[in-house]
A = this chain, B = another copy of it.
């Protein structure tokens, strides 16, 4: 074939699945645990300590992303990161991904190539050694991505949500509210007069405020800090996918404790820090006196009781700013 990789005109409908996969697979990262890779009925992976960590997550065009805002390479990055973060939050090293994509027939194959590039970028930067070991490619009216991620606990116990104990220090590694600030900027400034997402406006907003917008489109949580937290003796951990307030309540409930956050540690926009989701930063609790691993900063403590407190007062707000509530049908 003489067409270049950047030829945007070749669609899935024009290229057989086998040829499409032939173009995509070389771009994907290789996994350090592969014993038998893609191409057979299934892959075979090594589990050196006799256990493996598994998580799965979908991204759907409309509720989870919009092509007017996300480039295919952003989407591959984010689809990898959201799953890698769940592995890291167990205290495990992310080792492998399988990726199922259902795309409209008119999707340019170049978009899938860029998607693969984004997955590779994310693995290389945030989880070196993690690679794609299998996948599935289907046709659908709705662009849909399902990723399953695997990890290696390297002999350590998994760090669950249920282990926080009164007296523990509450700490976080990574931003609070940055992804939500980026999404707010897109919703406020990258929509047309009728409120529909607009690709040209998104490009210019992104060009003017790359860090703000990319915190939403290409979140960069410090995933290696999950292993450091486990080694340092974290008693509980999760990744902040639905916002600090909601996720901290999950740890509190699973552990049978209350979590008391310090308002002064939450930055200038506390509502955003508490309510904004999709940062995938790592939230962890450590026994009092633990030297926090590099990357983690103290934001509160675990106390006896129920639910979430801020500076000792119950915090009961449902969540912060939630653009998805009621957002329906705008899928541009």
A residues bordering B, Cβ < 8 Å?
Answer: 35-36, 39-48, 50-58, 60, 62-64, 85-87, 89-90, 92, 96, 98-100, 102, 133-136, 138-142, 144, 146, 148-151, 153, 158, 160-162, 237-239, 254
User: Does B36 contact A138, Cβ atoms closer than 8 Å?
Assistant: no
Tell whether, in the assembled complex, residue A92 and residue B140 are in contact, meaning their CB atoms are under 8 Å apart: no
Number of copies: 2
Known: A40-B160, A42-B92. A134 touches B58 (CB 8 A): no
Known contacts A138-B64, A140-B142; A43/B54 CB under 8 A:
yes
Interchain Cβ contacts under 8 Å between A and B, 24 examples: A35-B51, A35-B158, A40-B160, A40-B162, A41-B85, A41-B89, A41-B239, A42-B54, A42-B151, A43-B53, A43-B54, A44-B153, A45-B54, A46-B50, A54-B134, A56-B136, A58-B102, A60-B102, A64-B138, A98-B148, A144-B144, A144-B146, A146-B146, A148-B148
Could you tell me the dominant secondary structure of chain A's interface residues? strand
Bound complex: CA of A153 vs CA of B62, how far in Å? 40
Q: How far is the CA of A96 from the CA of B62 in the complex (A)?
A: 30
Q: Is the CB of A140 within 8 A of B134?
A: no
* Residues B57 and A47 in contact, CB atoms below 8 Å apart: no
Which one of B43, B96, B100, B142 lies within 8 Å of A57 (CB-CB)? B100
The answer to whether A51 touches B43 (Cβ under 8 A) is: no
Most B C-beta atoms less than 10 A away, residue of A40, A41, A98, A102? A41
